[in-house]
Amino acid sequence: MLYNRFENRTVINGIIEAVDPIHIGASTKESLNPVDMDDHVLKDSNGNPIIPGSTIKGVVRSRFEAVMLSLGKNVCNIFNNNDKKCADKNTIYEINKSKISDEEKAKKLYNKSCDVCKLFGGRAIAGKLRFKDCSFIGEKCAYEKRDGVGIDRVTGAATCGFKYNFEIIPKGTCFDFTLIAENLDKQQMKYLDFIIKMLEGNSIAESDYLSVGGKTTRGLGRIKLKDIKRTTIDREELKKQMLKQLEV
Ligand SMILES: [Zn+2]
């Protein structure tokens, strides 16, 4: 982020605690496959569990989208390339081929985008929220195993005799959490407050925690954010700090 485009930066630090056991599968394929006998959770190079920032971002975005939609706010369907509520395919094409500076293009694309894309990123713009990967807090994770029953993919019926194990991260496991938000306007600062409340499981719109990973219908996956520390630095403050660093 160049200084001339810098308005502010807010960093949210905290701890994500597993309210339920969690299963974020290491394999990309659907874990219901009965042949996949040992379904492991995603781990870092030390063998400890990790919650990808993209996973947190995904669940936060979809819950936030649902709330915005229920309030009648301008929210696009990201899977529909022609949704006029946002910078659609044609608009993006027109803006990109116009003879204006890249900065002007970026500004136009941003202004055409819906409130959710402005914050989380969309077809033509980068988002303003960056969720870092959440790393395990502690020495070694005490994984547990659960029995699963193979489900026939076509009929959805339990496949007789097919049993498999899946690994879970026990309830109470804690992870580092960092969210970096850049150049939020006043409205987006309010949205950020709301998103933090959602992560705490404490928003007025929803009484339940957000869930990550698979098998959430089996009571897995709920997480909560706690011990939150929040710092915001604005343009003036950043300038002061940069000048100080450059002092001879
Ligand atoms: Zn959008």
Task: Return the domain boundaries, the chain.
Answer: 70-132
- The pLDDT of residue 171: 96
Separation of CA 85 and ligand 1 centre (Å): 7
Separation of CA 114 and ligand 1 centre (Å): 4
Separation of CA 103 and ligand 1 centre (Å): 20
- Confidence (pTM): 0.86
User: What residues pair up with 222 in beta bridges, in sequence order?
Assistant: 211
Separation of CA 15 and ligand 1 centre (Å): 30
Separation of CA 21 and ligand 1 centre (Å): 33
- The pLDDT of residue 31: 47
Separation of CA 113 and ligand 1 centre (Å): 5
Separation of CA 67 and ligand 1 centre (Å): 14
Cβ distance 19 to 223 under 8 Å?
yes
Give, for all 248 residues of the chain, the pLDDT tens digit.
566 778 999 999 999 999 999 999 887 555 455 555 568 899 999 999 999 999 999 999 999 999 999 999 989 987 888 888 898 899 999 999 999 999 899 999 999 999 999 999 998 899 999 999 999 999 999 999 988 766 655 666 665 666 778 899 999 999 999 999 999 999 999 999 999 999 999 877 767 899 999 888 888 999 999 999 999 999 999 899 989 999 98
- The pLDDT of residue 166: 86
Separation of CA 92 and ligand 1 centre (Å): 12
Pairing of strands 158-168, 144-151: antiparallel
Show the beta-strand stretches assigned E in the chain: 8-18, 38-39, 50-51, 129-131, 134-135, 144-151, 158-168, 174-182, 210-211, 222-234
Which DSSP category does 137 fall into? P
Separation of CA 34 and ligand 1 centre (Å): 38
Amino acid at 129: L
